[in-house]
Amino acid sequence: QNSMVLSAAIFITLIGLIIYLHFVKIDEESLLVIGSLGIQVTSSYASGKESTTFIEMSQVKDVVINEAIHLQKVIYYLCILLQDPGNPQEVTEIVPLFQSSKPRLDCLIEVYKSCQEILEQRKPAPQSS
């Protein structure tokens, strides 16, 4: 009787670990920004599975560093602001990036600067009268 309970507990633990590694544990996160196309966000899980999200550049209003207070710490994270197609002045959605890796602020600033350089290239040059 006890050996069956122990075997069942071990089996359930192994299944839980496999599910955790396949669906939850993210090993690597990457961001690819192509000014003429869009932004690709890729998460690689411990099991080898990859999840990719693509955001068209026409939807992107800006990339910002946001801050949140969690317990007694200030946490900084990178976000993509998506604009409303009907009203480009309004933000309809905020897409947080690097939620699993939680890079330090100095790393976020480097990524932010690179993103801003690419976003600046897609803006039309001001016309002089």
pLDDT in tens, 49-93: 889 999 999 899 999 999 989 889 989 999 999 998 888 788 999
Answer whether residue 2 is part of any domain.
no
Cα–Cα distances (Å) from 1 to 4, 7, 65, in that order, read 5, 10, 56
For position 36, what pLDDT does the model report? 86
The token pair at 98 is 């690097």
Answer whether residue 13 is part of any domain.
no
Answer whether residue 118 is part of any domain.
yes
Answer whether residue 80 is part of any domain.
yes
For position 128, what pLDDT does the model report? 59
State the total domains in the chain: 1
Answer whether residue 102 is part of any domain.
yes
pLDDT exceeds cutoff 90 at 42: yes
For position 64, what pLDDT does the model report? 95
The token pair at 62 is 């800006």
Range of the domain at 62: 28-122
Answer whether residue 18 is part of any domain.
no
Average pLDDT over residues 7-34: 87
Answer whether residue 66 is part of any domain.
yes
pLDDT exceeds cutoff 60 at 129: no
pLDDT exceeds cutoff 70 at 113: yes
Write out pLDDT tens, residues 96-106: 999 888 899 99
Q: How does the average pLDDT of the chain come out, rounded? A: 87
